[in-house]
Amino acid sequence: MKLLCIELKKEVRQLNNDLISTSIIPVSSTTNLNELDPSFMYCQLLKENFLTTHNNVESSVQGLVEFCRTNYKENNGERELFEKFEQKYIEISPISWYTQQGFAYMMLNKALRTLDIKTIMKMDFFIRDLHRDIELYHSKLNINLCPFKVYRGQGLPNEAFDQLKKNKDGLIAFNSFLSTTIDKSVALNFARNSQCYTNTTSILYEMKIDPSISSIPFASVSHLSAYPQEKEYLFSICTVFRIDNIERHDEHLWTIKLTLTNDKDPLLKRLTDHLRISLGDGSGTRRLGQLMIKMGQFDKALEIYKILLKTVDPDDKKETTFLHNQLGYAWKQKGELKEAFSHYEESLKISRTYMSDIDHRLSSTYSNIGGILKKLGDCNGALKFYELVLKIDLAAPKPNPLEIAIDYNNIGSVLDDQGKYADALKSYEQALEIKLTHLPPHHPSLAGTYSNIGLIHRKMGDCSTALSSYHKTLEIQQKSLPPNHPSLVVTHGKLAIALEDLHRYEEAIEHAQKAVNVAAVAFGPSHPEVEKRQQYLDKLQQEKKVVTKQ
């Protein structure tokens, strides 16, 4: 039984070693946040966050232990570890807590790998303390040391290895604290132990370190580690290396040669600077919420903003207003309109305690509330808010024409829903006039306005004018969008309907067929949208047969 326990511990340790989260940043990376690995961006922001926050250590430790007791099933061993952590945390080095590979090690690495917001925020004090502990030992390092190598052996999922092979000269970021060794044989042992797993490639990272240029803290931690014989070097969170070469070591093992970067690495600096600018000001945690929204991870954004709302100073009305706005937006994106409305309403209520009803800063909140009321079917309420937004935007010291065009468009959409087509048409035409003055002739936004105008003309029975507007929509989209963009499906469909109304079946069938073709590429051949478009095409073809026989 004792031998079995030892083997199981080895197996668990190997699995934990292999599960470290990494991100590949290609040398050709753009500054489009949607094209970057969320884990990399999250880790960068997390790093900035823990360096600038200050917690009460005693209450933070108690909070984490209570969180563990509530959320994790305890066995006797875990209970003892929790109690020891609570009683002895300050007395023992954070590096020792981490390298013991107990609950702190496993919880932190799993949370960073899965972007578990609640756990990470509960452990933020430990992340900071561990970083500072490594930083302390790193500061004692002789920077005149010659460059040296450290090693890390592990299994890497085949898919991740294939991505790595394609990105020589790119960057690899380790999205956790990184354990390495100066003893190559130790690393090789970890690498070869991973060979028994399926869909995994065994790799040896060979990492070149130049102490004279490194801005990343690392330290020899053998004297603090539970495994001193492994001669471990521990690097702080989110360490980034350049991928120099990838070569086969033997039949079952690959060697990945890396060089430690510093903060001045051109690609890394470009990406982190852009990330900082894109996510605006505020605390690191606040910007984590912004990142989650930009990435479309609305559940995680909600977690973050709820936590921030609980901890915000009640007298900080500006921040409280911002948090309710963000919660409203995240709920709206999830389709939970009543929850969204509740937060927008609360944001507005607080805002009105320190600014006037027509303050320009309220414009976006009014617009958001109008949008939700429209979706909830309260057209009168929506119209009231949209008209208030227009009033504010027109009275601004420096009116933004394109924002005013959006206001007219929003008002037009509500009037359309109310069946007030002449008034809706007037609003849409006002929006179009502004856009034609301030946008390039083939801007995609113009296509949307022409499409709205076409729809109103059709509802008013003027199918010829509707057709003309739809043709303008199509012309702009064909010049400004990819050939199989989903918007083209809608436009070809509208053209087909207008042509059907005019009994021009040949042309209607032509556009209906194009709608089917584009939908099949844009959504996939088995998507419900393709089926819907095909059914309409079949209907047109039947109508044509009936008309031809007459």
Q: What is the pLDDT of residues 219-231, one digit of tens each?
A: 999 988 888 899 9
User: What was the pLDDT predicted at 545?
Assistant: 87
User: What was the pLDDT predicted at 6?
Assistant: 44
Whether residue 431 has pLDDT greater than 90: yes
Stated pTM of the model? 0.67
Whether residue 13 has pLDDT greater than 60: no
C-alpha separations of 176 from 46, 64, 237, 410 in Å: 10, 19, 5, 46
User: What was the pLDDT predicted at 327?
Assistant: 96
The mean-pLDDT minimum among 121-125, 184-188, 516-520 falls in 121-125
How many Cα atoms are found within 13 Å in the side-chain-facing hemisphere of 220? 16
The answer to whether 293 touches 326, Cβ cutoff 8 Å, is yes
Mean pLDDT across 52-64: 83
Instruction: Tell me the pLDDT of the chain averaged across its residues.
Output: 87
Label the pairing between strands 253-260 and 200-209: parallel
Whether residue 31 has pLDDT greater than 60: no
DSSP conformation class of 89: G
| CA angle (68 as vertex; 64, 71 as ends), nearest 5 | 130
Domains and CATH numbers, the chain: 11-272 (3.90.176.10), 439-550 (1.25.40.10)
pLDDT tens figures, 87-122: 999 999 999 999 886 788 888 988 888 888 888 888
Q: Which residues contact 473 (CB under 8 A, 6 or more apart)?
A: 447, 448, 450, 451, 454, 491, 494
Confidence of residue 512 (pLDDT cuts 50, 70, 90): very high
User: What was the pLDDT predicted at 17?
Assistant: 54
User: What was the pLDDT predicted at 50?
Assistant: 67
CA distance 220 to 181: 9
Three-class HEC string of 487-540: HHHHHHHHHHHHHHHCCCHHHHHHHHHHHHHHHHHHHCCCCHHHHHHHHHHHHH
Tokens read off for 242: 């350049």
CA distance 148 to 508: 71
Confidence of residue 28 (pLDDT cuts 50, 70, 90): low
pLDDT > 90: percent of the chain: 53
Give kind and range of the element (H or E) at residue 309: helix 298-311
Tokens read off for 438: 């301030």
The mean-pLDDT minimum among 51-55, 131-135, 199-203 falls in 51-55
User: What was the pLDDT predicted at 436?
Assistant: 96
CA distance 131 to 217: 8
pLDDT tens figures, 248-300: 988 889 999 999 987 667 777 776 676 666 666 666 678 788 878 877 788 98
pLDDT, greater one: 429 or 549: 429
Place of tokens 């002739």: 441
Whether residue 517 has pLDDT greater than 50: yes
Mean pLDDT across 414-426: 97
User: What was the pLDDT predicted at 221?
Assistant: 92
Label the pairing between strands 171-174 and 200-209: unpaired
The answer to whether 435 touches 449, Cβ cutoff 8 Å, is yes
Mean pLDDT across 494-506: 95
Mean pLDDT across 413-437: 97
CA distance 226 to 250: 31
pLDDT > 70: percent of the chain: 88
Whether residue 12 has pLDDT greater than 50: no
Q: How far apart are the first and last CA of the chain?
A: 89
pLDDT, greater one: 514 or 117: 514
Measure CA 95 to chain center: 31
Strand partners, 233: 180, 220
Confidence of residue 75 (pLDDT cuts 50, 70, 90): low
Whether residue 433 has pLDDT greater than 80: yes
pLDDT tens figures, 394-411: 999 899 999 999 999 999
User: What was the pLDDT predicted at 264?
Assistant: 66
Whether residue 363 has pLDDT greater than 70: yes
The answer to whether 150 touches 182, Cβ cutoff 8 Å, is yes
Mean pLDDT across 474-484: 91
DSSP conformation class of 170: S
User: What was the pLDDT predicted at 283?
Assistant: 65
Q: Strand, helix or coil at 90?
A: helix
Which residue type occupies 268? L
Mean pLDDT across 51-67: 83
